[in-house]
Amino acid sequence: MIELQHLSKNYSKTVAVNDLTLNIQAGEVFGFIGPNGAGKTTTIKMMGGIIEPSSGVILICGVNMKTEPERAKSKIGFIPDQPYLYEKLTGMEFLNFTADLYEMNNEAFIQKAQDKLDMFSLSDWSNELIEAYSHGMKQRLIMAAALLHDPEVIIVDEPMVGLDPAAIKLVKELFRSLASEGVTIFMSTHSLNVAEDVCDRIGIINKGSLIVTGTIEDLRQHVDVMDAGLEQVFMRLTQENERA
Q: Is 213 left (phi over 0), alpha (psi -120 to 50) or beta?
A: beta
Beta bridge partners of 76: 153
Q: Which of 19, 93, 115, 152 binds other proteins (CB under 8 A)?
A: 93
Which sign, positive or negative, has the C-alpha torsion 180, 181, 186, 191? negative
Could you say which of 120, 133, 175, 186 contacts other proteins (CB under 8 A)? 133
Phi/psi at 62 (5° precision): 80, -5
Site string for other proteins, 172-211 (x = CB under 8 A): ----------------------------------------
Pick the binder of other proteins from 36, 70, 166, 244 (CB under 8 A): 70
Stretches 131-139, 184-192, 196-204, 207-215: which one binds other proteins (CB under 8 A)? 131-139
Eight-class DSSP state of 124: G
Q: Give me the least distance between CB of 154 and other proteins, in Å please.
A: 12
Q: Phi, psi at residue 227, to the nearest 5°?
A: -100, 10
Indicate the residue among 13 and 243 with the shorter CB distance to other proteins: 13
Number of residues that bind other proteins (CB under 8 A): 38
98 neighbors 145 (Cβ within 8 angstroms): yes
Q: How far apart are CA 91 and CA 127, in angstroms?
A: 6
* 47 vs 160, beta carbon nearer other proteins: 47
Residue whose CB is less far from other proteins, 52 or 164: 52
DSSP 8-state class, residue 88 = T
Three-class secondary structure assignment of 147-160: HCCCCCEEEEECCC
Piece of 32-40, 85-93, 190-198, 200-208 that binds other proteins (CB under 8 A)? 85-93
Contact stretch for other proteins (CB under 8 A) within 69-77, 164-172, 191-199, 213-221 = 69-77
**Measuring CA to CA, which residue among 107, 75, 34, 53 is closest to residue 184?**
75
By CB under 8 A, the residues from 10 to 39 that bind other proteins are 11
Site for other proteins contains 103 (CB under 8 A): yes
* Neighbour count for residue 66 (Cβ, 10 Å): 13
Q: Residues 184, 216: contact at Cβ < 8 Å?
A: no
Binding positions for other proteins, rule: CB under 8 A: 11, 45, 48-52, 69-71, 73-74, 76, 78, 80, 82, 84-89, 93, 96-104, 128-129, 131-134
